[in-house]
């Protein structure tokens, strides 16, 4: 499991690097006008997190209260437990990136109502916002210990993003089983018609 997480972090980092490099290979006349970013890697990481945090909170809000105890089979987490687990993980990964002690709130074990879990997830996301907002390319390359390995803070935040997406996939399955359209499958509102 740890090996797959580490490999996934490396692949995500390489893909983001390749995307930036690909644009650099295009002739200048075919590139969109852009001002060089001072912190392209931390900016990319923050943009990825902004997207996933929005769909996680939306997923938590969208599922009705009566389905928060739903689990497709007995050995898996309930919908509410997944929301709590994701909230706990935000504190775990982002406290490490911030150089702070994880508050260890045990949200998955202590919160059961939709209102409490949504509020806890929003608080956890706000905590993580500090890590992503304060990260620069220089500070992101500093190493910390994760899974008994030295890892750059970028790696820690990439793993947080991947973990979030992994569990969003769980939430999507649960929503689909309850005939609820997940946030990323919703149709955007129609553009106003010009007259």
User: Buried b vs exposed e over 118-145: b needs ≥16 C-beta within 10 Å?
Assistant: bebbbebbebbbebbeebebeebeeeee
Are 166 and 173 in contact, with CB atoms under 8 Å apart?
Answer: no
The verdict on domain 2-25+38-182 having CATH code 1.20.120.450 is yes
Q: Residue 10: what pLDDT?
A: 47
The full length of the chain comes to 195
- pLDDT at 7 (0 to 100): 47
The band of 186, judged by pLDDT with boundaries at 50, 70 and 90, is confident
CB distance 24 to 93 below 8 Å: no
Cα gap 48→20, rounded to integer Å: 14
pLDDT above 70: percentage of residues in the chain? 81
Mean residue pLDDT of the chain comes to: 86
Confidence of residue 194 (pLDDT cuts 50, 70, 90): confident
Two tokens, residue 131:
């890590």
Rounded-to-integer distance, Cα 172 and Cα 165, Å: 10
What are the pLDDT digits (tens) for 123-134?
999 999 999 999
CA 84 – CA 161 distance, rounded (Å)? 16
Residue pair 157/85 in contact (Cβ under 8 Å)? The answer is no
141 or 6, which is more confident:
141
Token pair for 52: 């996933």
Over 70: is that where the pLDDT of 26 sits? Answer: no
What are the domain boundaries of the chain?
2-25+38-182
Query: With contact defined as beta carbons under 8 Å apart, do 155 and 146 qualify?
Result: yes
Q: Kindly tell me if the per-residue pLDDT of 18 is higher than 50.
A: no
Q: How confident is the model at residue 191 (pLDDT cuts 50, 70, 90)?
A: confident
pLDDT tens digit string along 63-109? 999 999 999 999 999 999 999 999 999 999 999 999 999 999 999 99
Report the distance separating Cα 158 and Cα 138, nearest Å: 16
Average pLDDT over residues 15-33: 53
Using DSSP's 3-state secondary structure scheme, residue 111 falls into coil
Percent of the chain with pLDDT over 90: 71
Predicted local confidence at residue 187, as pLDDT: 78
How far apart are the C-alpha atoms of 39 and 138, rounded to whole Å? 8
CA 129 → CA 47, 126, 188, distances in Å? 11, 5, 26
Rounded average pLDDT over 131-150: 93
């Amino acid at each position: 499991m740890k090996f797959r997480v580490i490999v996934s972090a490396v692949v995500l980092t390489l893909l983001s690097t390749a995307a930036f490099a690909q644009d650099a290979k295009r002739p200048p006349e075919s590139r969109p006008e852009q001002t060089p970013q001072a912190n392209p890697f931390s900016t990319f990481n923050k943009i990825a997190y902004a997207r996933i945090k929005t769909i996680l909170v939306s997923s938590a809000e969208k599922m009705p209260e009566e389905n928060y105890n739903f689990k497709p089979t007995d050995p898996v987490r309930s919908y509410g437990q997944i929301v709590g687990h994701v909230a706990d993980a935000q504190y775990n990964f982002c406290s490490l990136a911030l150089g702070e002690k994880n508050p260890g709130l045990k949200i998955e074990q202590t919160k059961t109502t939709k209102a409490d879990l949504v509020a806890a997830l929003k608080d956890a996301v706000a905590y993580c916002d500090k890590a992503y907002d304060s990260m620069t390319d220089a500070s992101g390359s500093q190493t910390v210990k994760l899974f008994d390995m030295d890892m750059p803070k970028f790696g820690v935040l990439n793993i947080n993003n991947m973990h979030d997406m992994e569990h969003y996939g769980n939430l999507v399955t649960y929503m689909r089983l309850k005939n609820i359209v997940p946030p990323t499958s919703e149709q955007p509102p129609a553009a106003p018609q010009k007259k």
